[in-house]
Amino acid sequence: MARRLDYKDHRRELDANRYVYAVVSRRARGLSIGVNLNPDKACNFDCPYCQVDRTTPGGPSRVNVPDLAAELEDLLRRASGDLWATPPFDTVAPELRRVADVAFAGDGEPTTPPEFSAAARAAREARDRLAPGVPLRLLTNATLLHKDRVRAALAEFDELWCKLDAGTEAYFQLVDGTRLPFRRILDNLLLVARERPIVIQSLFLALDGVGPDDAEIEAWVSRMRGITAQGGRIDHVQVYTVARAPSDPRCGPLDAARLEAIAAAARAAGLGAVVYA
Ligand code: SF4
């Protein structure tokens, strides 16, 4: 679930981290602390717009939860102390010098590793102790939300941000690079949205210069309408596009007007929609 963010820190101290990284996010209005449970860069999607560099090998797939917790605790402590006096964070605008969230995102689907549940619990405990009030978010492609071990761990998170990039099976396969059944994603979104409100994250892009047509957007809206009609709750929809050049040269951004039109289609169905152009 690679995350679109503005700035990635490459200081040696954080580069020494295996699991926890920090980015300054104008969207989140502050420091977003990322937790990467996929240091091996493995993902069950193969989105052509993915910004994870898989031309270089990843690390071991096993997640060492105590190490992860130690990295997170260290960064949370420093964020209320010396971090802002240390380059490059000393250049961050004063109004952004706050921890905006702790987000499970990173270089693959975070719910995949068997350590997901233990990592979520450890992150929750660290957040409660060191940064109460900072939201703990899960960014997920929703493929595994039906698994008991995953569902049980969802309670650790304050917010679930779930990917939905398409309205039809064919377009889903194209833009998310998977043969996993689209029905499973939709069923999983409904399953979870019936228990608690979810945020839908939808990335729309131009592939070989062509974006999703109106029929695709209509189908996308009708999928979300289907969720709400069956008792699911969608807090809001985030509509965005590719930020930096992905490795796949077929991918390009949609313009702001098209993103606004897509968001307007969601709003017309009674959904709150925010555009990040
Ligand atoms: S879900 Fe897609 S964008 Fe996210 S890490 Fe996997 S391949 Fe990349």
pLDDT of residue 207: 95
212-230 confidence digits (pLDDT tens): 999 999 999 999 999 999 9
- 186-209 per-position pLDDT tens digit: 999 999 999 999 999 999 999 999
Residue 139 identity: L
Please state whether beta strands 251-253 and 205-207 pair in parallel, antiparallel, or not at all (unpaired): antiparallel
134 Cβ contact list (under 8 Å, min separation 6): 99, 100, 101, 102, 127
CB of residue 2 inside a 6 A radius of ligand 1: yes
Ligand 1 neighbourhood includes 52 CB (under 6 angstroms): yes
Please say if the pLDDT value at position 12 is more than 70: no
Task: Compare 153 and 59 and report the one with higher pLDDT.
Answer: 153
186 lines ligand 1 (CB under 6 A): no
Q: Given this model, what pLDDT does residue 146 score?
A: 97
pLDDT on residue 167: 98
Whether 151 and 196 have beta carbons less than 8 Å apart is answered as no
Q: Extract the tokens encoding 215.
A: 């029929």
Does the pLDDT of residue 245 top 80, yes or no?
A: no
Residue 5 reports pLDDT greater than 90 = no
Residue with the bigger pLDDT between 153 and 1: it is: 153
- The response to whether residue 36 sits with its C-beta less than 6 Å from ligand 1 reads no
Ligand 1 lined by 47 (C-beta under 6 Å): yes
Q: How confident is the model at residue 13 (pLDDT cuts 50, 70, 90)?
A: low
Contact 138, 70 (CB under 8 A): no
Q: Which atom of ligand 1 is nearest to the CA of 43?
A: 6
Q: What does the alpha-carbon distance between residue 153 and residue 116 come to, in Å, rounded to a whole number?
A: 8
Whose Cα sits closest to atom 3 in ligand 1? 50
**From the CA of 180, how far away is ligand 1's center (Å)?**
14
- Note the pLDDT tens digit of each residue in 107-152: 999 999 999 999 999 999 999 999 999 999 999 999 999 999 999 9
| Whole-Å CA distances, 225 to 22, 95, 173, 228, 252 | 35, 37, 21, 5, 28
Residue nearest to atom 4 of ligand 1 (CA): 1
The residue with greater pLDDT, 26 or 139, is: 139
Closest residue by Cα to atom 2, ligand 1, is 47
